[in-house]
C-alpha cells in the first residue's frame, strides 16, 4: 500500500497513544476497519541505547498489517539514525514513520521534544528532514496548533513540514497548554488543508459516526485519526465507516460485548503473560464509560487480577443498569 492508495478514500487511523496503542489494541481496531494503526510514541534515544523495552514497542503483533511507528525526539542526528534502524529492522512490517511534534506531557515537552518543537520551527525542520533522509518510507508528522493561543503556528508548521519532505500530516487542533481540555478547533484543520498540497488527517473530538462526518465536511481533510474515541470502543471504526457509507451500525451489547472484553483479555495474556492483566486493567473500565450506574463495576474492573475474576465480574447482575442486558 502506498500513500496514494491509503488516501483513495478517507482512511481511518488509530492514533499513537502512550500506554494504550499496544499490538493487541491495534489488532482489535484493525479488525474493526482501522486502515492504519500507529505504535505508542517511541524514544529515538531509547532505540539507539538498545533499550529492549523501547524496541518491543516497535514490534508488530501477530496478524497485524503494516503499521506506523511514531518516533519522538528533538536531536536531528539521533532521530535520523533511529529512522534508519527502524526501517532496516522492520522492513515490510512498516508502512511509515511518524514524527511526534504534539505530545503535551511535561516530561516530553519539558525536555524539548513533542509539542516543544512548535516553539522552534527551524529545529523541527531539521528533525523532519533528517528522518526523511534516513528512511525509504513515507514520513508523516503529527502536531498541534501551537504552544498556546498566542502562538498558533498550524499553517506555517504544515508548510515547513511539507517542504522538509513529509508525505502527509496529522493535526490535533488543540494547543499544548490546552492539553486535552476544551474543544478542538477544527478551523485549524481547514487552514492547514488549504496551506499544503499533501494529505491532511484530522484528529480531535472524533468519537462516533456523526462527528466523523462533520469533521470531513467542515474541514475538507483527507482522513481521520481516532484516539481517545477508540478507547473502550474499538468498534468505533466500524461505526464511522458505516456512517460514511450511509449504512446502519449497532454497537455490541449484551453477550456480544462480554465476549469481546474476554477476548481482549485473552489476547493480552497470550501476548504478555501475567503482565497482560496489568495492561488490560487500563482498558477494562473504558468499556463502560458513560453507562449509568457503572462506577462500582468500573472500579472493580480496574483492580481485576485474573481472567477468572474478570469472568465473574462480567456475570455480576448488579454491575450497572445498562450492563444488566448482557446477562
Per-residue pLDDT of the chain (327 residues; tens, 9 = 90+): 899 999 999 999 999 999 899 999 999 999 999 999 999 999 998 888 865 666 666 677 766 778 999 999 999 999 999 999 999 888 888 899 999 999 999 999 999 999 999 999 999 999 999 999 999 999 999 999 999 999 999 999 999 999 999 999 999 999 999 989 999 999 999 999 999 999 999 999 999 999 999 999 999 999 999 999 999 999 999 999 999 999 999 999 989 999 999 999 999 999 888 888 998 999 999 999 888 878 888 898 999 999 999 998 888 644 444 444 443
Contacts of 73 (CB under 8 A, 6+ apart): 43, 44, 45, 79, 82, 113, 127
Contact criterion met (CB below 8 Å) for 189 and 200? yes
Helix axes 254-272, 275-283, angle to 10 degrees: 140
Q: Establish whether 103 is a catalytic residue.
A: yes
Distance between CA atoms of 256 and 46, rounded to whole angstroms? 40
Q: Which of 325, 249, 263 is nearest to 288 (CA)?
A: 325
Contacts of 305 (CB under 8 A, 6+ apart): 277
Out of 103, 213, 221, 320, the active site residue is 103
Q: Which of 78, 58, 104 is nearest to 113 (CA)?
A: 104
CA 319 to chain CA centroid, nearest Å:
30
The grid coordinates listed for 211 are: 462527528
Phi, psi for residue 100 in degrees, rounded to 5: -80, 110
Pairing status of strand 67-72 against strand 223-226: unpaired
Contact criterion met (CB below 8 Å) for 102 and 130? no
Q: Which of 93, 67, 96, 92 is nearest to 83 (CA)?
A: 96
Q: Which of 5, 45, 2 is nearest to 136 (CA)?
A: 2
Distance between CA atoms of 223 and 319, rounded to whole angstroms? 38
For 208-323, list the strands marked E by DSSP: 223-226
Q: Whole-prediction pTM value? A: 0.91
**CA distances, 72 to each of 29, 79, 82, 128, 215 (Å):** 23, 8, 10, 11, 27
End-to-end CA distance of the chain: 43
Based on its alpha-carbon atoms, the radius of gyration of the chain, rounded to whole angstroms, reads: 20
Amino acid at each position: 500500500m502506498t500513500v496514494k492508495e491509503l488516501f483513495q478514500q478517507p482512511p481511518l487511523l488509530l492514533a499513537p497513544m502512550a500506554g494504550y496503542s499496544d499490538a493487541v489494541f491495534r489488532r482489535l481496531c484493525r479488525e474493526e476497519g482501522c486502515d492504519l494503526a500507529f505504535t505508542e510514541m517511541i524514544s529515538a534515544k531509547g532505540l539507539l541505547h538498545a533499550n529492549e523495552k523501547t524496541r518491543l514497542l516497535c514490534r508488530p503483533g501477530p496478524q497485524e498489517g503494516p503499521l506506523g511507528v511514531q518516533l519522538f525526539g528533538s536531536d536531528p542526528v539521533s532521530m535520523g539514525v533511529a529512522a534508519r534502524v527502524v526501517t532496516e529492522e522492520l522492513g515490510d512490517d512498516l508502512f511509515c514513520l511518524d514524527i511526534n511534534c504534539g505530545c503535551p506531557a511535561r516530561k516530553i515537552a519539558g525536555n524539548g521534544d513533542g509539542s516543544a518543537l512548535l516553539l522552534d520551527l527551524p529545529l523541527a525542520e531539521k528533525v523532519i528532514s533528517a528522518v526523511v533522509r534516513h528512511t525509504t518510507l513515507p514520513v508523516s508528522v503529527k502536531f498541534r496548533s501551537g504552544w498556546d493561543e498566542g502562538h498558533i503556528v498550524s499553517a506555517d508548521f504544515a508548510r515547513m513540514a511539507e517542504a522538509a519532505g513529509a508525505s502527509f500530516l496529522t493535526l490535533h487542533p488543540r494547543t499544548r497548554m490546552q492539553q486535552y481540555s476544551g474543544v478542538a478547533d477544527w478551523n485549524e484543520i481547514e487552514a492547514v488543508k488549504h496551506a499544503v498540497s499533501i494529505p491532511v488527517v484530522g484528529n480531535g473530538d472524533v468519537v462516533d459516526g456523526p462527528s466523523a462526518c462533520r469533521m470531513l465536511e467542515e474541514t475538507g481533510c483527507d482522513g481521520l485519526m481516532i484516539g481517545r474515541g477508540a478507547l473502550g470502543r474499538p468498534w468505533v471504526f466500524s461505526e464511522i465507516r458505516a456512517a460514511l457509507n450511509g449504512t446502519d451500525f449497532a454497537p455490541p451489547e449484551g453477550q456480544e460485548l462480554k465476549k469481546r472484553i474476554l477476548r481482549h483479555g485473552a489476547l493480552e495474556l497470550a501476548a504478555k503473560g501475567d503482565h497482560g492483566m496489568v495492561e488490560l486493567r487500563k482498558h477494562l473500565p473504558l468499556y463502560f464509560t458513560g453507562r449509568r450506574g457503572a462506577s462500582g463495576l468500573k472500579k472493580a474492573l480496574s483492580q481485576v487480577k485474573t481472567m477468572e475474576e474478570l469472568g465473574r465480574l462480567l456475570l455480576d447482575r448488579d454491575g450497572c443498569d445498562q450492563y444488566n442486558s448482557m446477562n
